[in-house]
A = this chain, B = another copy of it.
Amino acid sequence: MIENTKFNAAILIIGNEILSGRTQDTNTSTLATWLNSLGVKVGEVRVIPDVEETIVSSVNLLRKNYNYVFTSGGIGPTHDDITSESVSKAFNLPYEKHEEGYKILEAYYKSGEFNDGRQKMIWMPRGANLILNPTSGAPGFYVENVFVLPGVPSILKSMLGGIKNKIVGGNPIISHTISLRTFESHIADSLTDVQNKYQDVEIGSYPFFQAGKLGVSIVMRSDDQNLINKCSSDVMSFVNDKKIEVVERD
> What residues make up the interface of A, taking CB atoms closer than 8 Å to B?
13, 15-26, 28-36, 41-50, 76-81, 115-118, 120-121, 151-152, 154, 173, 175, 177, 184-189, 191-192, 195, 202-207, 209, 219, 221
Contact = CB atoms under 8 A, between A and B. Distances in A.
Given A25-B28, A28-B25, A32-B19, A46 B49 contact: no
A80 to B, nearest CB: 5
A43 B116 CA distance: 31
B21 A29 contact: yes
Given A20-B32, A189-B116, A189-B117, A203 B79 contact: yes
Contacts of A151: 206
20 contacts: A13-B45, A15-B204, A16-B204, A17-B204, A17-B206, A17-B219, A19-B42, A21-B32, A44-B47, A46-B46, A46-B47, A76-B184, A78-B192, A80-B203, A80-B204, A117-B184, A117-B185, A120-B188, A152-B207, A154-B209
A2 to B, nearest CB: 13
B42 A45 contact: no
A16 B32 CA distance: 11
Specify how many copies of this chain sit in the oligomer: 2
Contacts of A15: 204
A115 B206 contact: no
Contact of A205 (B80, B121, B184, B189): B80
A176 to B, nearest CB: 11
A191 B185 CA distance: 55
Contacts of A20: 32-33, 36, 42, 173, 175, 219, 221
Contacts of A19: 32, 41-45
Contacts of A191: 78-79
Contacts of A48: 44
A203 B81 CA distance: 11
B32 A117 contact: no
Nearest to A186: B117
